Structure 1
């Protein structure tokens, strides 16, 4: 009986830089919950390294990978745009300013 060997999945790795490690952590958590790949388009992994978020997209074929990349890039664009408008006033205030010092 002959065995059919399954081809290794295709992968795409994207590094997204942020202004700080805290911003990267927030982005990673938000992406993990919001950037769900379309059904049948593969698998996504998110990791933080310093102020960068590493995103690994894995799929069995090129069409699945293209769909996953497109979906993920759209989510990243919306996330970065939102973070630029919301995070600076609330998360990057100096402790001295908050305490009147």
Structure 2
């Protein structure tokens, strides 16, 4: 019997495509640990960062998403503090 995966898709709009790319690059650096059981994929389309999560357990999904949102918040606050990126 195969286990059913939990899936969550999120879209995070940014003011510009460049900012979405910076966020994607920053958040893609750390892959999820194998033992964590959470798979994360990030893709930029225009000015939108699309994130896809998969996990086998709700607890693992919650932990993985909480960690992601903490990092996303830090990236956004940093970009706001230092202003828009130069081209």
TM-score by length of 1: 0.76
Does the CA-based 8 Å contact 1:44-1:55 persist in structure 2? yes
Q: Give the SS at the match of 1:91.
A: coil
After the TM superposition, which segments of 4 or more aligned residues of structure 1 sit over 3 Å from their partners?
36-39
What's the CA shift string for 1:20-47, capped at 9, x where partnerless?
111111111111014x436414111000
**Higher CA-based Rg:** 1
Q: Which has the higher strand share?
A: 2
Matched residues, number: 86
Structure 2 residues without counterparts, runs of 5 or longer: none
1:64 to 55, 60, 85: 60
Structure number with greater CO (CA < 8 Å, separation at least 6) is 2
Structure 1 residues without counterparts, runs of 5 or longer: 93-101
